[in-house]
Amino acid sequence: MGEAVHDRGLGGGGLGVASQPVRFASDFADAAVVLPLVGLVWMVLGPRGTRWAMACAGTLGAMLVLKAISFRLTAPWPFSPSGHTASAAIVYGGLAWVLLRPRAGRVLPGVLAACVTAGIRWTRLALGAHSV
C-alpha cells in the first residue's frame, strides 16, 4: 500500500485526509472540467441553456478579476477567492436548476447545488488551497 500524502489543510494544520481522493473531488470544479462541460451542455440544450452558459461565463470571468486583485495585494491577505467553489455553484447548481426545475420544483435543485458547492469548498479547505 502506498504512502498517504497529506496537505496543509485548514490553517496549515491538516485534516488528516489523504490528498488524492480530495484532489480528485476538487478537480470536478477545475476549469479544465467545467469549461468543456459548459460548452457541451450549451450545445446539447441549445437556446434553453443560453442564460445558464452566459451566467457561467460571467461568474468565471468575475472570479478571474477577483483573483487578479487578490494576487496584487500584499501578503498576508486573509481571503482567497475560490474559483473552484464559484464554478461548482454556478455550473453544477445552474445545471441542476436548468435540468431538474421543470420536474422537481425549486427545492431539489437548490439542495443539490448547496451540497455540491459545500463539498467542493470543503475539498479546497482540506487541501489548504484557501482560507475560511
CA 95/CA 49 separation, integer angstroms: 9
Burial group, residue 113, by CB count within 10 angstroms (0-12, 13-18, 19+): buried
Which of 32-46, 47-61, 63-77 bottoms out in mean pLDDT, i.e. has the lowest?
Answer: 63-77
| Distances 93 to 11, 12, 24, 97, 108 between C-alpha atoms, Å | 28, 30, 19, 6, 10
Which of 26-30, 60-64, 73-77 bottoms out in mean pLDDT, i.e. has the lowest?
Answer: 73-77
Residue pair 129/25 in contact by the 8 Å Cβ criterion = no
Q: What percent of the chain has pLDDT over 70?
A: 80
pLDDT of residue 11 exceeding 90, the answer is: no
One-letter amino acid of 74? T
What does the pLDDT read at residue 99? 81
pLDDT of residue 10 exceeding 80, the answer is: no
What does the pLDDT read at residue 80? 72
Q: What is the grid cell recorded at 20?
A: 488524492
Find, among 3, 34, 2, 12, the residue nearest to 126 by Cα.
12
